[in-house]
A and B are shown apart, each in its own frame.
Chain A
Amino acid sequence: MKHYLKLLNFEVNRFFKLYLTLIGLIIVSQFIGAIVVSKGYMNGVDQVMYKNQLSMSQYTEEYGLFSFNQFVGSGWFLLPIFFSIAILMIYVFFIWYRDWFGKNTFIYRLLMLPTERITIYFSKLTTIMLLVLGLVALQIVLISIEMQIVNSIIPTDLQSHFSFNDDYSLERLYPNTLTEFILIYGVGLIFVAVLFTAILIERSYGLQGIFIAIVYGMLSSGVFIAPLLVNRFLNGYFYSLEVFLLELVMSVIVLVSAIWIANHLLKYKIRV
């Protein structure tokens, strides 16, 4: 456990500079975006009101209210998020391959630590999850600040009420209930675990391993979506609760087998 925490701390630190850069990028882009979008809207409103000699209430009657979604749907808001997701996706691979490649083969050191080798896997897995959740948490804080920015530029009379549920993508990111939250991020965790195990298969068996890794990935996905497929095939034979429970069982099977295989590979099959 002590080694796990030390490794976790170590792994997080290795990504931290890039992480801060990502955070900086998100903040700058979204704050500028909040200002640009609001100002742009207000300019439009002013022009239309002036040209047509409208009052504010006449304007809103005719053209509707400003919704925060207009900002959330803009590139200013979304692009840095997509960029961060892309970087983190790449890092899922890089977090392993960086230890093998380059002049300094750090993987020797990691594998020679006096600790169970699966600890390395767990620490890297946790690192990815922490990085993701960190950004998700940051985004909540940023959204509330961005609302203040928008409010300071656009009078509230011109704005419609905004909640997370109004926006499809935000609703996915921030589900309403804890259960949904655990489900969504649990699926994410399983996805990363399966990818990690696939990477270790490639690292253990080389070129052949790529093929095995792909087969393994497809099998895992297959097992994972089996309950949904079967249910559809049977035209909704199961109750949703039953599908849910089956899905839960399958998730556990996929996750446990990913960890079991990774453990076996790290112990007996890994090559440096």
Chain B
Amino acid sequence: MIEVKNVEKKYGKKRVLKGLSFTAEKGEITCLIGINGVGKTTIMKAIMALTPINSGEILIDGEKIRKESFEKITFIPDTITMLPQMKICEAFAFMADFYKNWDSKRADELLQFFKLDSTERIANLSKGNMAKVNMILGLALNVDYLLMDEPFSGIDIFSREQIAEVFTSHLIEDRGVIITTHEISDIEHLIDRAVLIDNGEVLKEFSVEEVREKEGKSVVDVMREVYRG
């Protein structure tokens, strides 16, 4: 379980996260929803110790992040995290070199699934294909938790469909996933929990299925209630 407890974060005098708390369970897809600039990316960076927090605590399976944690949790930011001059196969070799949990077989499977050529240079890839490679860099790690920042933003409809397909596959099952989006419609049917964020605070945290069954509401319905008052 990932626990984000009372996290505060300031950029200068501006408070970006105001005592924000939520949890994300293993085996569930948790979606952080909010318009741009409410601090979704900052939360993910904070979980990965890529940006400091001013107060609060973040625990991964009850522990603070340490170097070993990076074999257990990974982050797929919205830009690719490899050198542009690398070929895809070189990027994979780099991953295999440093991570015990890198699954080369799965990386190749995903490459085939996305119909990508491993000798292609990252710099020459289209935006959609770059997003797919970036996704593979995270998915081929045998980690318990995956954080994905806006995996669907700015890419074409077919790439979106392919990526969405990955979400319903065995590649995601059993893992804990935190995903951010400002457009819920693409992935509403995929997610288990929704965390509505505005202005650095959690407005509401709920199980999508429960709300659907008990109240007959979709995520968008709840969002309307919460954001429009």
Contacts and interface: CB of A to CB of B under 8 A. Distances in A.
A124 to B, nearest CB: 15
B81 A104 contact: yes
Interface string B52-94: 1000000000000001111100110101111110000000001
B52 A269 contact: yes
Contact of B99 (A111, A114, A271): A114
B40 to A, nearest CB: 15
21 contacts: A6-B98, A104-B80, A104-B82, A104-B83, A104-B122, A106-B82, A106-B83, A112-B70, A113-B70, A114-B67, A114-B68, A114-B69, A114-B71, A116-B67, A117-B67, A267-B49, A270-B50, A270-B51, A270-B52, A271-B52, A272-B45
B228 interface: no
B48 interface: yes
Contacts of B45: 272
Contact of B75 (A14, A112, A116, A271): A112
Nearest to B91: A109
Nearest to B50: A272
Contacts of A105: 77, 79, 81
A114 B98 contact: yes
Contacts of B69: 114
Contacts of A109: 81-82
Q: Which of A105, A109, A113, A204 has the most CB of B within 10 A?
A: A109
Contacts of A6: 97-98
A14 B48 CA distance: 26
Nearest to A117: B67
Interface residues of B, number: 26
A14 B94 CA distance: 13
Contact of A114 (B50, B81, B100): B100
A3 interface: yes
A268 interface: yes
A113 B98 contact: yes
Interface in A68-124: 102-106, 108-109, 111-117
Contacts of A102: 84
- 8 closest cross-chain pairs (CB), A and B: A109-B81, A114-B70, A108-B81, A272-B50, A114-B71, A271-B51, A104-B84, A269-B52
Nearest to A268: B52
A14 B82 CA distance: 13
Contacts of A108: 50, 75, 77, 81
A267 B64 CA distance: 12
